[in-house]
A = this chain, B = another copy of it.
């Protein structure tokens, strides 16, 4: 383990790695949360209720089969859960490995951009593959890299 900085110095908002992590993570959380109203919007538009008691809200006359547009957004939302949520922890732990600031900051920026693009090509305007696969892969590899760096550092 390096003799380097103490953890409380790394977990300080004056550490640019930490404050950029907090900034981009918060942006990702906002993006993640907005999947819920996006789902609602499409439930209204397609009159697709998730539960019998929701039928009056979305003006549905029957429960019917799941609507494909709604399901697509729910898949994008689930994909966010599978990727953004572990990143929120992996990124925080990665800050504690005292990475090179420029590398860490750009990883946070790129990975956030990748998740915005992922949602765009998945749930807003469907773009043929490999658009979504590439967006997924960028964030995935960066999160995996951060977790591996933590393992090597804290082992």
Tell me the A residues contacting B by CB distance below 8 Å. Answer: 1, 6-8, 11-14, 18-20, 22-23, 25-27, 29-30, 32-33, 35-36, 50-51, 53-54, 56-57, 72, 75, 77, 81-86, 88-90, 93, 96, 122, 126-130, 132-133, 136, 140, 143-144, 147-148, 150-151, 154-155
Residues of B within 8 A of A83 (CB): 33, 36
Contact residues in B for A143 (Cβ distance below 8 Å): 29, 33
Q: A interface, by DSSP: helix, strand, loop or mixed?
A: helix
Using A86-B33, A151-B30 as known contacts, say yes or no to A7 and B1 having CB atoms under 8 A apart: no
Nearest 4 CB-CB pairings of A with B: A26-B150, A8-B8, A23-B154, A88-B89
